[in-house]
Every structure is written in C-alpha cells, then in structure tokens.
C-alpha cells in the first residue's frame, strides 16, 4: 500500500514493464556480437517509472496497469510495492505475457529500446475504480492504453483535480489531448500530432485546437510551454549525463506530484526538470530516480 506521507498523491494509469538494461560503449549498428559493460534488471514503463518517482519524492501513489499472471508480472508488482507504490489497482490476466523491454545505453547516455506488450491484453476499462482514491490530488496517464487513459482523465475531471497526459508517442489521439488538463509531449509525438518540425510552431498549432495547458520536453534543451498564448522556455539543469532511460517518465511523475501539491506550472516544471536531471546522472533507468531532499538541494543551488 502507498505510504502515509502527509502530502497529496497521484493516481497513475498506464504501462509497467520489466526492463533489461545493458550498458555499452556505442549503440549497435549491425548484425554483430556486442559485449555489455553492465546490466540492470529493473522495473520500467512510462506509468511504472512515474509512479516510483512519485513515491521516492514522498508522495502517495496508486498505479492502475494491466499485467499477465506470470513470473514477470510477479516481479513487476513486487518491485512497485517495494518502492511504496500502491499496486491494488493492478489487473492480472491469465494466459498472457507481461510487458518486457531490452534496452541498450551507450557511453553518452543515449538509448535504444526494444519492447514487447502482449497484443491480446484486454482493452476494457470496467474494472477501473469509479472514483479516485482518497488523497489523490492529480491523475497521470500515458498513451499506451488509450481507453484506460480516457477513463483516468475523466476521473480527474469529475474530482476537479489536474489530469496530466504523458504524450510520448503514436501520436496521442486529439480527443485524449483535449480531455487532459495538462499535456507534456515528447518532441516526436508533438511533431507527429502537429505536423510541425519546429516544436514552438507545433505547440502553437495544437494550442489553437485544444483548451489544455501544453508543454514539450526537449531533453538537454529544456522545456517549452504555453503561457498566456505564447511559447515560453525553461532551460534544463546542466548535469553529466550517464543514462537518459526513464528521464521523461520521471519528469512526468514529478510534474504531476507538484501539481497535486498545489505548485503552479512554472514551479512544477522546475521541480520535474531537477528530478529528471538527477536521474540522468545514474545508470539503470528508474533505479536512478532521486529522493525529495536531493531535488530540493539542486533547486536551492541552481541559479
């Protein structure tokens, strides 16, 4: 169960995986054999990573996700619960396979991801709660399960709390974008949705069509967001990058928690960016997600 923290929490919905993360000098480019310098076997997935980040930052967190009734699913759930995430909303389905990923990270911290999700996983949402858990001050959904994301964001609307969409690929359906109160895109997803190569132009185009607060995360280039009809910029924290795997997921978790706590969007962006920056200095995906005191120290030291 989620820890009692005294702070509002976040109800997360989306994918949770088991990741096999290999450290190499350079990313593979052909059909050859490569030797890994290191290996981390760690839980992953957009929503799974965000949930762990929230728990490490001191927030309560509930995760709704779909897993198979298999050993991989057992390991995913055990890892989540070990981090303090409430896994009471995890659905286990017999006869299928839980999501897994093989990830290669090079010396510059860039990564290559090969993921598998069972295509037979049920899409129905009837098992989801009809109301948010007590203490949930925000909702965070990813795009891996569209019907589930719609349902979760509707719960946020009914409860009158922020509903954050991690718009990281496919691109997300425009209706899903409009259902969220806050959407933070990856650069690729924004380009695919808007048809614009320039992320500033892309944000402006999407903002003209939906009422949601919008942002796009650009890694080392920071974050662009819409403010009073114009595009504003928050620079990234400068750190020595070791592993970018999970950084975007950790960013979304921290951002949603900050909104649940009542922080404004600009403060939430800085809080999330500091959290993601620290994660990037550590190998092993979400295993590098920081604790609250580390983030607050970086925010206090940064200009």
The three-state (H, E, C) secondary structure of the chain, written as one string = CCCCCCCCEEEEECCCEEEEEEECCCCCCCCCCCCCCEEEEEEECHHHHHHHHHHHCCCCEEEEEEEECCHHHHHHHHHHHHCCCEEEEEEEECCCCCCEEEEEECCCCCEEEEEECCCCCCCCCCCCCCCCCCCEEEEEEECCCHHHHHHHHHHHHHHCCCEEEEECCCCCCHHHHHHCCEEEEEHHHHHHHHCCCCHHHHHHHHHCCCCCEEEEECHHHCEEEEECCEEEEECCCCCCCCCCCCHHHHHHHHHHHHHHCCCCHHHHHHHHHHHHHHHHCCCCHHHHCCCHHHHHHHHHHCC
| Structural domains of the chain sorted by starting position, each given as residue range(s) with its CATH number in brackets | 9-27+36-119+137-301 (3.40.1190.20)
Q: What is this structure's pTM?
A: 0.93
Is the confidence at residue 255, as pLDDT, over 80?
yes
Q: What is the pLDDT of residues 155-167, one digit of tens each?
A: 999 999 999 999 9
CA 44, 49, 53, 54 torsion-angle sign: negative
Q: What is the pLDDT of residues 43-97, one digit of tens each?
A: 999 999 999 999 999 999 999 999 999 999 999 999 999 999 999 999 999 999 9
Q: Model confidence at 6, in pLDDT bands (50, 70, 90)?
A: low
């Amino acid at each position: 169960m989620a820890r009692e923290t005294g702070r509002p929490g976040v109800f997360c919905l989306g994918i949770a995986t088991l990741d096999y993360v290999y450290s190499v000098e350079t990313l593979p480019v052909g059909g050859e054999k490569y030797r890994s310098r290191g290996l981390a076997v760690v839980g992953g997935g957009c929503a799974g990573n965000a949930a762990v980040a929230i728990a490490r930052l001191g927030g309560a967190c509930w995760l709704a996700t779909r897993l198979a009734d298999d050993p991989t699913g057992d390991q995913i759930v055990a890892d989540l619960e070990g981090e303090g995430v409430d896994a009471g909303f995890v659905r286990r389905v017999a006869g299928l396979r839980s999501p897994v990923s093989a990830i290669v990270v090079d010396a510059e911290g860039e990564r290559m991801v090969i993921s598998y999700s069972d295509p037979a996983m049920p899409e129905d949402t009837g098992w989801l709660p009809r109301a948010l858990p007590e203490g949930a001050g925000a909702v965070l959904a990813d795009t891996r399960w569209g019907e589930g994301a719609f349902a979760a964001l509707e719960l946020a609307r009914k409860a009158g709390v922020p509903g954050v969409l991690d718009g990281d690929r496919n691109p997300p359906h425009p209706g899903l974008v409009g259902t969220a109160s806050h959407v933070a895109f990856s650069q690729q997803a924004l380009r695919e949705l808007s048809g614009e190569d320039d992320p500033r132009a892309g944000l402006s185009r999407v903002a003209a069509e939906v009422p949601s607060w919008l942002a796009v995360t650009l890694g080392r280039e920071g974050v662009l967001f819409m403010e009073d009809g114009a595009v504003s910029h928050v620079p990234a924290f400068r750190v020595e990058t070791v592993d970018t795997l999970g950084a975007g997921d950790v960013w979304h978790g921290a951002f949603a928690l900050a909104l649940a706590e009542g922080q404004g969007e600009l403060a939430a962006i800085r809080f999330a960016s500091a959290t993601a920056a620290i994660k990037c200095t550590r190998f092993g995906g979400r295993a590098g997600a920081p604790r609250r005191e580390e983030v607050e120290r970086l925010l206090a030291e940064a200009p």
